[in-house]
């Protein structure tokens, strides 16, 4: 009952919960590098990169070779958390290529296959270490869809899907949340210092250095350093969720390297396997590794093919600083393009935001960003919105994209903006809704 080239099968049989396929209504068949191809042979430039899971592009040949060889040799596919050659190779490579050169000491916990598993494990451990239950989370944060992660996520629509009260978080204002410039670190410090504030003492603060899903909100280096000091002052742990903006998205492997943070726990996933295979990691400072054997387990913590591609990715991209430098350079190209775009089209009422290769424009005009993304799809570019009201269109190309393709994507985006502004009849004087 193949309904070739049509989305009918999905519409008929797949749950209503499906999401991205509505933004990109075609049936994709193959992919390579920064290109996706649908069943009709139409090609799309990918500025979405699997929501940050494909930093090295689709089906990177070096990673694919390593994977094919491993499968061909009957390498272990599934192994719970048993010791395997593939897992040892990953652990040793991660130590050698990532942690040791950065003088970072962390134990590795494989918490389950997806990002939210890494977040759940981190929060559970922080609670165990401190004996406190509350988590200090932030406005517009996004940490995943399981109940613990949802409780520290800001988005009201996603939260309401929980169907239960999400009571374990203490939501605080992110950097720049108040338009009047209120110093949100001072605000938190006041509440945490005042025994009359009614604020329960949290186990940890969980933070994204750049809130990706929340609308590309960038915390300043200074604010993040002060947040770490706040955590130390009030004896809270610091958890950095680097699931979307780690693995090189902002340039360096960890998004906080140049800022100089020393998180107690770090969550990684998305581009860790480098190939789009599910894999997650919770990094724990050795003194905090208070787990009892088997206290937190799960069937799919040993996705060995993912260990193989992850090892190949680290060896290919992270043995020197070239990818980080290139990402910073391409980030500048994106910045120039976006800055020029908001100047050229005042009708957008746009603000540029982001770091490295996660940048975008917030359009104050209601619904405009979604329309631009839709117009881009029709012209062969995959790009998504972010933020609670989807007001930001977000450029998230693979880090390995070449300049020509990047500029080709810029051109399509420009054409899409022009088409939408024309069809909407917007002028610079149009007041944002
Ligand atoms: N944390 C962050 C910062 C994310 O961006 C995401 C997903 O977008 C998650 C956690 C959840 O990851 P997953 O969807 O793999 O559970």
Six-digit token string for 260:
């100089």
Residue 81 to residue 237: CA distance in whole angstroms: 26
Index of the ligand 1 atom closest to the CA of residue 245: 3
The torsion defined by the Cα of 229, 213, 52 and 304, in degrees rounded to 10, comes to 80
- The pLDDT of residue 415 is 97
- The pLDDT of residue 121 is 98
CA of 53 to the centre of ligand 1 (A): 10
Q: Is the CB of 217 under 6 A from ligand 1?
A: no
Index of the ligand 1 atom closest to the CA of residue 244: 5
Q: Is the CB of 210 under 6 A from ligand 1?
A: no
**Phi (first) and psi of residue 293, to 5 degrees:** -55, 125
Index of the ligand 1 atom closest to the CA of residue 269: 15
pTM of the model: 0.97
Index of the ligand 1 atom closest to the CA of residue 211: 3
Query: How confident is the prediction along the chain (433 residues), in pLDDT tens digits per residue?
Result: 455 558 999 999 999 999 999 999 999 999 999 999 999 999 999 999 999 999 999 999 999 999 999 999 999 999 999 999 999 999 999 999 999 999 999 999 999 999 999 999 999 999 999 999 999 999 999 999 999 999 999 999 999 999 999 999 999 999 999 999 999 999 999 999 999 999 999 999 999 999 999 999 999 999 999 999 999 999 999 999 999 999 999 999 999 999 999 999 999 999 999 999 999 999 999 999 999 999 999 999 999 999 999 999 999 999 999 999 999 999 999 999 999 999 999 999 999 999 999 999 999 999 999 999 999 999 999 999 999 899 999 999 999 999 999 999 999 999 999 999 999 988 777 666 5
- The pLDDT of residue 388 is 87
CA of 136 to the centre of ligand 1 (A): 18
CA of 158 to the centre of ligand 1 (A): 13
**Phi (first) and psi of residue 157, to 5 degrees:** -65, -45
Q: Is the CB of 142 under 6 A from ligand 1?
A: yes
CA of 20 to the centre of ligand 1 (A): 15
Index of the ligand 1 atom closest to the CA of residue 119: 10
CA of 74 to the centre of ligand 1 (A): 31
Q: Is the CB of 34 under 6 A from ligand 1?
A: no
Q: Is the CB of 144 under 6 A from ligand 1?
A: yes
* Mutation test residue for ligand 1: of 112, 217, 244, 300, the one with most atoms within 8 Å of CB: 244
Index of the ligand 1 atom closest to the CA of residue 116: 16
* Mutation test residue for ligand 1: of 111, 240, 270, the one with most atoms within 8 Å of CB: 270
CA of 112 to the centre of ligand 1 (A): 13
- The pLDDT of residue 426 is 80
- The pLDDT of residue 35 is 98
Residue 134 to residue 188: CA distance in whole angstroms: 14
CB atoms closer than 10 angstroms to residue 402: 13
Question: E strands along 173-290, which residues?
Answer: 204-207, 210-211, 217-218, 237-241, 265-268, 281-284
Question: E strands along 281-349, which residues?
Answer: 281-284
Q: Is the CB of 241 under 6 A from ligand 1?
A: yes
């Amino acid at each position: 009952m193949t309904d070739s080239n049509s989305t009918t099968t999905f519409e008929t049989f797949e749950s209503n919960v499906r999401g991205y396929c509505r933004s990109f209504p075609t049936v994709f068949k193959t992919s390579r590098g920064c290109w996706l191809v649908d069943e009709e042979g139409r090609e799309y430039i990918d500025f979405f990169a699997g929501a940050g899971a494909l930093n090295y592009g689709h089906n990177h040949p070096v990673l694919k070779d390593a994977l094919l060889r491993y499968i061909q040799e009957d390498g272990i596919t599934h192994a719970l958390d048993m010791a395997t050659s593939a897992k040892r190779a990953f652990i040793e490579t991660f130590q050698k290529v990532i942690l040791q050169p950065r003088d970072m000491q962390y134990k590795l916990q494989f918490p389950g296959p997806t990002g939210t598993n890494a977040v759940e494990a981190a929060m559970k451990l922080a609670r165990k270490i401190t004996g406190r239950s509350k988590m200090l989370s932030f406005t517009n944060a996004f940490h995943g869809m399981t109940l613990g992660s949802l409780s520290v996520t800001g988005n009201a629509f996603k939260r309401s899907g929980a169907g239960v009260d999400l009571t374990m978080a203490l939501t605080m204002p992110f950097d720049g949340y108040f338009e009047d410039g209120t110093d949100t670190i001072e605000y938190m410090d006041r509440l945490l210092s005042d025994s009359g504030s009614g604020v329960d003492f949290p186990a940890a603060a969980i933070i994204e250095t750049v809130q990706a899903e929340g609308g590309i909100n960038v915390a300043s280096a200074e604010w993040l350093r002060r947040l770490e000091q706040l955590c130390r002052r009030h004896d809270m742990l610091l958890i950095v969720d680097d699931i979307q903006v780690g693995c090189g998205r902002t340039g360096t492997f960890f998004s906080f390297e140049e800022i100089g943070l020393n998180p107690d726990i770090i969550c990684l996933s998305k581009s860790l396997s480098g190939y789009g295979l599910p894999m997650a990691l919770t990094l724990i400072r050795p003194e905090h590794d208070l787990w009892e054997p088997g206290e937190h387990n799960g069937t799919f913590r040993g996705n060995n093919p993912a260990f193989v591609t992850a090892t190949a990715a680290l060896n290919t991209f992270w043995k020197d600083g070239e990818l980080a430098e290139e990402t910073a350079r391409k980030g500048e190209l994106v910045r120039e393009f976006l800055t020029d775009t908001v100047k050229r089209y005042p009708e957008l009422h746009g603000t540029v935001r982001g770091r490295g290769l996660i940048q975008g424009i917030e359009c104050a005009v209601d619904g405009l960003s979604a329309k631009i993304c839709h117009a881009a799809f029709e012209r062969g570019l995959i790009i998504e919105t972010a933020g609670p009201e989807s007001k930001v269109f977000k450029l998230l190309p693979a880090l390995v994209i070449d300049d020509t393709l990047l500029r080709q994507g810029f051109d399509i985006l420009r054409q899409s903006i022009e088409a939408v502004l024309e069809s909407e009849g917007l002028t610079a004087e149009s007041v944002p809704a």
